[in-house]
Amino acid sequence: MVNGAPEEGMKQIHALSIKKALTSEQWEQQQESEKSKSDA
C-alpha cells in the first residue's frame, strides 16, 4: 500500500541524465581540437 501510493505522481516525473558536462574552457579547447583535426 505504501509503495503504491506515489504511483500516480511518478507517472509525471521525468529524468535528465548529463553524460558529459564541460566548463567553458574545456568546451573551447574541444572546439579548437576538432577544428585543427578537420583542417589537417
Distance CA 3, CA 21 (A): 34
Distance CA 29, CA 23 (A): 10
What pLDDT shows up at residue 7? 74
Q: How many CA atoms lie within 13 A of 30 on its CB side?
A: 8
Pure H helices in the chain: 7-10, 24-39
Q: Kindly report the pTM of this predicted structure.
A: 0.47
Q: Give how far Cα 13 sits from Cα of 3, 9, 10, 17, 19, Å.
A: 16, 7, 5, 13, 20
What pLDDT shows up at residue 8? 72
**pLDDT per residue over 1-40, tens digit each?**
777 777 777 777 777 788 899 999 999 999 999 999 888 7
Cell numbers describing residue 20: 558529459
